[in-house]
Structure 1
Amino acid sequence: MVSSAAPTRSILDTSHSYFLQPSPNPGESPIALLLRGVNISSTSKYPTLPNSLSEYSSLEGTSRSDRDRKRRILAGQESHLGEDEVGLYSEAEQGGGDGWFVGRPFPIEEVDVHLLRLKAWGFTTIRYLIVWEALEHAGPGKYDEDFIDYTIAILRKCREHGMRVFISPHQDVFSRFISGSGAPYWVLVALGLNPKRIHQTGSAVVHQCWSTQGYGGEEGIQSVKEGKLDDWPDMIWNTNLHRLAARHCFTMFWASDYFAPKCKIDGLPVSDWVQNRFIAAYGHLANRLKNAGDILDDCLIGWDSMNEPQEGLIGIPDLNKCPPAQSFKKGPSPTPLQGFILGNGQPVDDVEMGDFTSTGQKSKGTISITPPEGKAVWLTREEAKQAETKWGWKWDEEWDFWDENGNGGCIWAGHGVWDPAHKSILRTQYFKPPGKGPTDFIEAFWKPHYTKFIKRIRESHPNAISFVNPPVFEEPPDLSEEVKKGRMALSSHFYDGLTLLNKRRHVFNADAVGLQRGLTNMISAIRFGEKSVKSVMRGQLGELKSDANKSEGIAGENDDKNYPTLIGEIGTPWDMKTTKLFGLAKGKADRKDYKEPAKAMDQVMNACDGHNALSYTLWVYEPLSTHAHGDGWNGEDLSLISYDEIPNEGEEANDDLLMLNPPDLKNLINLGTRGIQSWCRPYPIESSSKIEKFSFDMKSGNFNLVITIKGLEYKPIINDKSNDNIINNQEEEKEEISINQKGYTKLYLPYVHYLFNSSISPNTEIKSITDKEKTRIIGKPDNNNEEWVKGNGPATIDIEILDLSEGSLEVIGQWGWWRYNIGNEGEREGRLRIRPWKG
């Protein structure tokens, strides 16, 4: 449908508040870019089918039910599938297989249509998820070259379609064996854990174990007093950050040399050993991408830092109590001490059951948790010996925390933090020592790791933009110019917490960023009403954006080193509940339409506009998302698209086939989408001027844009009498060219909002608008003459110009070019206002 010839582009500059692309014409101003796009994808967090089930991947069928079944197979090891269904543990214990993640994010034969769809939605940028497990699942230093070959093929396709990509070294809650994603199975073993006993000991609530070993399960945690919980609770995975398994793994990853000095592997502190493995894996990927020869810079513009890093136990002031960071509680919420006790295989009777509602945090009483057979989450001595033989490492002699029977093995008991015999804490402030201890997680532990990571990446990719992804809502640290090298961008994440956690819109909201940073209190943070909610969201994103400009942050002391911000993750759930009592009570998920979720998405998208004028990558593009299991990961349901949005009107229905083979633009753009009117929206893609602010009203289609056009500065003409004719002629020619230099702003004007209705005026002349003619403009067809509906001719844009301060606007396809003279008049304001033609 669309040509995919590879564009030629210059290396982006980031030493300003925008991403800047050098002008193709020497001497002209660089072009400011907004990079907007998507994350791909949720299934990238998981392998495809285990080897034992691979024969089903070729399932063919002509009925809709057969095709839906095949798509579920292609979805692979989703987070609700455990040992019985997909060999969750047994496959990983064997190291997986060659090409275990090949097909993530989607099969190579499908890539073209997905990228065409993203371009038609106005997106130019992809945050590409690659988990550590995909690279190194077979064991330390054993890289999956088949997966890397596949990744190179995908990135070459992205280049052909003109997409810019940055790679996310992705993790959530450290590993999928803690109901997250990221680290391979063998890493958890190297840190002293038996992954098979994480759920049973309450060290994490693992989705794959929920049905067989969850609340009320015969082998698992005892029932909640008021009854068995059958459904996987919304967003409960997030609370695993505050349970033992994740806390332990993150602490060992960042800071074992300080907090667990007895723990060494192959003579190195565990934190050094495991970080070296992590950095080497992505460094190997960077080498392969460099050697591919046609990916770096033109397509792959940079690398994110580790996704949403967490501090683990570091900084907890009192191990007897839940720390302030654990203010969000859902499900069983053990204190750090209770986590140690349960992890040691000992029962606890008074674990708080938390819940998060529209009115805030609630307690639902307590429950008892009894690890089955008294088994600990820690490796036994025998299991540790077997692991050394299998994986090829050697624990140092001091790593010996077992009892005379080879049981126990708790690393923190072994370091004198707590006493298993008396179930008591011995050193309350162990992870936040008074005085000069390294308790600032970001400065003391995250920053040194990040510095080593980006240094290694740039050995292979010298021009890489480093996207800095600090802990959620935290401020990034001061970084030296040697680290930044003028190629830096902030990639903070933002979700509206109330909407994400409760899956419904509210008539009120709060300034979560301000609260976390101590900029406001709870009374002043609460806002009521639609306008106030939009305002507080825009303010939060503005605060996050300011982190790139603060002298004590990544900007540094030089005013000309203000770096751009790209919000790496932002979105809203589409499985929102029906609401009652002004949004305080919720019913079941309502999928009759997506009006409410679209309004919620519109709120966060508006927050990215205005003076913020932010770049972003939406979470998430996952075509295999289903109503039953969401995006395939812990019940999240944020995908912009899903096959389940295409009605199944019988076994003979075949509309779902059009997702991968759309006959026209209408099917390419609309089929399978959810609330498309909220996120497929107009915006300035690039401009030779400064983008001051812009806004879009989803209901009316009104789009307003204000820019600052900066005139060129000139030096006086110098009359050199010895050669005055030549010099004066040259200077006059240069000045004339400069005064007449053209500026432009390129716009995305989506068919979703501005499609020409041929029934209104089928014979209207297609033309551009000028300064004197500011009413209606009907765009030209795209150069490829794409049809909106097959057989009905090419699609065009139909808009009314409400204000055009100067210059002219030309529209071709979904792209508008506002052209104007730069001149030498200093700074002046440029304005453009449009809306759909009303007839």
Structure 2
Amino acid sequence: MSKLWVRIEGTRFVDRQGRHLILRGVNLGGDCKLPYPDGGTDRPSDFSDHRSVSFVGRPFPLAEADTHLGRIARWGFNTLRLLVTWEAVEHAGPGEHDAHYVDYVGHICERAAAHGLAVFIDFHQDAWSRMSGGSGAPGWTFEKLGIDFRRFDAAAAAHVMQYRYDYSNPERRQESRYPAMSWPVNYRMAANGIMWTAFFAGATLTPQWQVDGENVQHYLQRHYFGAVAAIAKRVASLPNVIGFDSLNEPGIGWVGQKMSQRPAPPPISDHSPLRLGPMWTPFDGLRAARGLTTKVPFYSRAADGSIAVHEVEYNSSRTSIWLSDGSDPFEQAGAWRAGETAAQVVDEDFFIKNAGQRIDHERDFMQPFFHRMAAAIRSHNPDWLLFAEINPHLIAQGRSFPKDMPPATINASHWYDLALLWSKRSPSTPNAAHQTEKRKLYGLQLAYFRTIGERLNGGAPTLIGEFGVPFDLNDGESFHRWSAGERNSAVWQAQALALQSVYDTLDTLLLSSTQWNYTASNRNDLRVGDGWNQEDLSIFSCDQQPGDDDGGRAVAGFCRPYLQRAQGRILQVHYSQDEGVFRFSIDLDPEIEGDTEIFIPARFARTAPSIALSGAAVQQQHSPDRQLLKLRAAAAGIVEGVLHCR
């Protein structure tokens, strides 16, 4: 039997004693995408130091680990999705792993164990790399593929805050230069189109593209898995490290797109910002990357809600991102031709079909990737769980994991209230009807995500790997109130109510989760936030210390009673914050050695809790120092409980 703290049985997580587990965790943390200590996007950079940077100190210096991890555990979390990046491990060059960082990650995991926190490692990326507007891959990946990332801004190949922002301007948000939450536009631009296509489909679409005598896809994936293996080797003996995430929100490049077919403007009823902005096609991106001036339609929403379309000219400087003169690998493979007078599409279906057969991204590329990832980690610990993700855009299209997945795979898909995430607008005091509608919407959407897990390998657990709320809602209203001296929970009421609705839904569906996120360096500052592209979803801010909640924001929204592990199978849980009542039912199994444990936050647990039990007989023990109510059954049966928490 596995020695890990967590294993799976069908669609459930269980511990070593066989108790049904709910993993309630947090992502640690948002600034792990960045070099330490001065790598945040709130500071200018030309990335010239990309080979000499260090990530030791992310998520925090080791001397501060017990303070932060102790806080996370006191808030009731039992799991960490620990962010690392390929760049953090292998920034110096191909095959040159940062031994100091690898050992540092091991020490963080060891300290997490001391606080009772299970860990799974997330190799994180957004928009491929810091140099292309996101995080993840080392800068040398561009260089090895013959690409100069220093030319990305001039060539309109990537949308990068460090090139767009005027850091000398005291204005905290500069929407005309770098709109908030605009970084996802990078997935439609040339840098991401090229890199993700090469990473997943290079052997299929550009077999002639060689890097040091090896196909580009095989070269990139070999180094990625090498970085994963370096971390895996260091933490293989730690029982609280329960597995690895496959790769955060992997891009798909241009796979599945027509070369020159543009998407239609969204209907007025579609308020998603994902379908606004420049509508790049692969042909547009390849032309601009080659140094050709390119006009691209730009979709924006007019004041009346309609969609306005105008053309924007890009790369007027005629800058090429390719280090060598002449054709790029896609032109060499027959996708397009630059021509002497005008560029032409040669194969409109180049990214859709290969050798006359339609490409299936999940089957052809993700399926072998998942198996290679599983092999890379399980060569060091065969019991590790694989927390798998496909591109969130594919899930929105109704697509899912390929049929043939490695055993012990978890559905670790991400879910957000996109309207809230992108608009950053919310009523300061939402009414009951608003909350009810949110719960209905969340219930439908998260139930669908659970179904994805139930179909994976005939039935697998689902852990929502990311969800969260922006704390910079309404132009930073909460920050202004805090700065003005308000020190009460009303400052974060909008965020707490939003989180409450999510956790209510997770409880109803018995879903495990890791909230996005805990950032140790977070600031109540519209420019800084989590330190990355003006995002601010951290439940902790160092600007709020000292304080009643020890730096926590909207703590009442996430630090709440829940059934952490059960001596049997959890049937139902429900917490009503308004009533101050926590209800649960468990199908007890006395053969399981271990107590049922209910987390009760310290603000409720100063005295023995009032609990009414019915059904099977159980003994109870209150451990206020651990914020736990323990129940022990000697006989099988169903027990129902009503716990009053005020």
Alignment partner for residue 543 of structure 2, among 630, 634, 644? 644
How far has the Cα of 1:804 moved from its partner?
Answer: 4.4
Return closer, same or farther for 1:742/1:210 CA change in 2, 3 Å cut-off: closer
Judge conservation of contact 1:328–1:356 (CA < 8 Å) in 2.
no
Alignment partner for residue 369 of structure 1, among 294, 313, 318? 313
The CA distance in 2 between the partners of 1:832 and 1:330, in whole Å, is 49
**Cα deviations across residues 14-71 of structure 1 (Å, max 9, x unaligned)?**
1322112233xxxxxx2111111111111111112xxxxxxxxxxxxxxxxxxxxxxx
Partner residue of 1:196?
Answer: 150
Amino acid at match of 1:574: F
The CA distance in 2 between the partners of 1:460 and 1:685, in whole Å, is 29
Alignment partner for residue 352 of structure 2, among 428, 432, 437? 432
Partner residue of 1:801?
Answer: 611
Judge conservation of contact 1:686–1:745 (CA < 8 Å) in 2.
yes
Judge conservation of contact 1:742–1:821 (CA < 8 Å) in 2.
no
Partner residue of 1:131?
Answer: 85
The CA distance in 1 between the partners of 2:71 and 2:189, in whole Å, is 40
Partner residue of 2:493?
Answer: 595
Return closer, same or farther for 1:698/1:229 CA change in 2, 3 Å cut-off: same
SS in 2 for 1:37: strand
Alignment of 1:343-422 (within 5 A): 343-354=289-300, 363-371=307-315, 373-379=317-323, 381=324, 402-403=325-326, 409-421=327-339, 422=342
How far has the Cα of 1:136 moved from its partner?
Answer: 0.6
How far has the Cα of 1:426 moved from its partner?
Answer: 2.5
The CA distance in 2 between the partners of 1:743 and 1:644, in whole Å, is 41
The CA distance in 2 between the partners of 1:150 and 1:615, in whole Å, is 27
**Cα deviations across residues 701-749 of structure 1 (Å, max 9, x unaligned)?**
2211122235x7xxxxxxxxxxxxxxxxxxxxxxxxx7xx887421001
Judge conservation of contact 2:507–2:574 (CA < 8 Å) in 1.
yes
Alignment partner for residue 141 of structure 2, among 187, 190, 202? 187
How far has the Cα of 1:802 moved from its partner?
Answer: 5.2
Judge conservation of contact 1:260–1:411 (CA < 8 Å) in 2.
yes
Alignment of 1:186-265 (within 5 A): 186-211=140-165, 229-230=175-176, 232-265=178-211
- Of structures 1 and 2, the larger Rg is shown by 1
Judge conservation of contact 2:412–2:463 (CA < 8 Å) in 1.
yes
The question of 1:39 aligning with 2:33 is answered: no
The CA distance in 1 between the partners of 2:574 and 2:494, in whole Å, is 20
Judge conservation of contact 1:322–1:334 (CA < 8 Å) in 2.
no
Judge conservation of contact 2:278–2:296 (CA < 8 Å) in 1.
no
**Cα deviations across residues 419-447 of structure 1 (Å, max 9, x unaligned)?**
33423422211111288525211110011
Alignment partner for residue 465 of structure 2, among 550, 565, 568? 568
Return closer, same or farther for 1:152/1:588 CA change in 2, 3 Å cut-off: closer
Alignment of 1:565-644 (within 5 A): 565-577=462-474, 591=481, 593-610=491-508, 612-626=509-523, 627-628=525-526, 629-644=528-543
Partner residue of 1:302?
Answer: 243
Alignment partner for residue 692 of structure 1, among 571, 587, 595? 571
Return closer, same or farther for 1:308/1:245 CA change in 2, 3 Å cut-off: same
Partner residue of 1:317?
Answer: 258
Amino acid at match of 1:312: G
Amino acid at match of 1:830: V
Judge conservation of contact 1:691–1:708 (CA < 8 Å) in 2.
yes
Amino acid at match of 1:603: S
Partner residue of 1:338?
Answer: 284
The CA distance in 1 between the partners of 2:251 and 2:141, in whole Å, is 17
How far has the Cα of 1:459 moved from its partner?
Answer: 0.9
The question of 1:271 aligning with 2:217 is answered: yes
The CA distance in 2 between the partners of 1:327 and 1:424, in whole Å, is 31
Partner residue of 1:496?
Answer: 417
Alignment partner for residue 461 of structure 1, among 353, 376, 381? 381
The question of 1:705 aligning with 2:548 is answered: no
Judge conservation of contact 2:43–2:167 (CA < 8 Å) in 1.
no
Amino acid at match of 1:477: P
How far has the Cα of 1:466 moved from its partner?
Answer: 1.3
Alignment partner for residue 747 of structure 1, among 559, 576, 598? 598
Judge conservation of contact 1:179–1:207 (CA < 8 Å) in 2.
yes
The CA distance in 1 between the partners of 2:477 and 2:284, in whole Å, is 34
SS in 2 for 1:747: strand
The CA distance in 2 between the partners of 1:468 and 1:597, in whole Å, is 28
Return closer, same or farther for 1:589/1:160 CA change in 2, 3 Å cut-off: closer
How far has the Cα of 1:348 moved from its partner?
Answer: 2.9
Return closer, same or farther for 1:11/1:681 CA change in 2, 3 Å cut-off: closer
Judge conservation of contact 2:235–2:241 (CA < 8 Å) in 1.
no
Which is further off, 157-166 or 470-479? Answer: 470-479
How far has the Cα of 1:126 moved from its partner?
Answer: 0.7
Judge conservation of contact 1:192–1:378 (CA < 8 Å) in 2.
yes
The CA distance in 2 between the partners of 1:698 and 1:504, in whole Å, is 23
Alignment partner for residue 163 of structure 1, among 99, 110, 117? 117
Return closer, same or farther for 1:363/1:434 CA change in 2, 3 Å cut-off: farther
How far has the Cα of 1:261 moved from its partner?
Answer: 2.1
The question of 1:90 aligning with 2:45 is answered: no
**If the length of structure 2 is used for normalisation, what is the TM-score?**
0.88
Partner residue of 2:365?
Answer: 445
Which is further off, 444-453 or 800-809? Answer: 800-809
**If the length of structure 1 is used for normalisation, what is the TM-score?**
0.68
Return closer, same or farther for 1:44/1:356 CA change in 2, 3 Å cut-off: farther
Return closer, same or farther for 1:686/1:356 CA change in 2, 3 Å cut-off: farther
Return closer, same or farther for 1:47/1:22 CA change in 2, 3 Å cut-off: closer
The CA distance in 1 between the partners of 2:635 and 2:335, in whole Å, is 67
Judge conservation of contact 1:577–1:589 (CA < 8 Å) in 2.
no
Amino acid at match of 1:554: N
How far has the Cα of 1:587 moved from its partner?
Answer: 9.1
Judge conservation of contact 2:582–2:645 (CA < 8 Å) in 1.
no
Return closer, same or farther for 1:323/1:176 CA change in 2, 3 Å cut-off: farther
Judge conservation of contact 2:146–2:322 (CA < 8 Å) in 1.
yes
Partner residue of 2:14?
Answer: 20
Return closer, same or farther for 1:685/1:271 CA change in 2, 3 Å cut-off: same
The CA distance in 2 between the partners of 1:125 and 1:239, in whole Å, is 32
The CA distance in 2 between the partners of 1:241 and 1:491, in whole Å, is 21
Partner residue of 2:485?
Answer: none
SS in 2 for 1:261: coil
The CA distance in 1 between the partners of 2:423 and 2:260, in whole Å, is 29
The CA distance in 1 between the partners of 2:89 and 2:292, in whole Å, is 36
Judge conservation of contact 2:293–2:317 (CA < 8 Å) in 1.
no
State percent identity of aligned pairs: 27
Partner residue of 1:27?
Answer: none
Q: Which has the higher contact order (CA 8 A, sep 6+)?
A: 2
Partner residue of 2:487?
Answer: none
SS in 2 for 1:619: strand
Which is further off, 468-477 or 135-144? Answer: 468-477
How far has the Cα of 1:457 moved from its partner?
Answer: 1.3
The question of 1:833 aligning with 2:623 is answered: no
Return closer, same or farther for 1:820/1:12 CA change in 2, 3 Å cut-off: same
Judge conservation of contact 2:573–2:585 (CA < 8 Å) in 1.
yes
Partner residue of 2:457?
Answer: 554
The CA distance in 2 between the partners of 1:425 and 1:160, in whole Å, is 59
Return closer, same or farther for 1:423/1:638 CA change in 2, 3 Å cut-off: same
Return closer, same or farther for 1:213/1:239 CA change in 2, 3 Å cut-off: farther
SS in 2 for 1:139: coil
Alignment of 1:807-826 (within 5 A): 807-813=618-624, 814-823=627-636
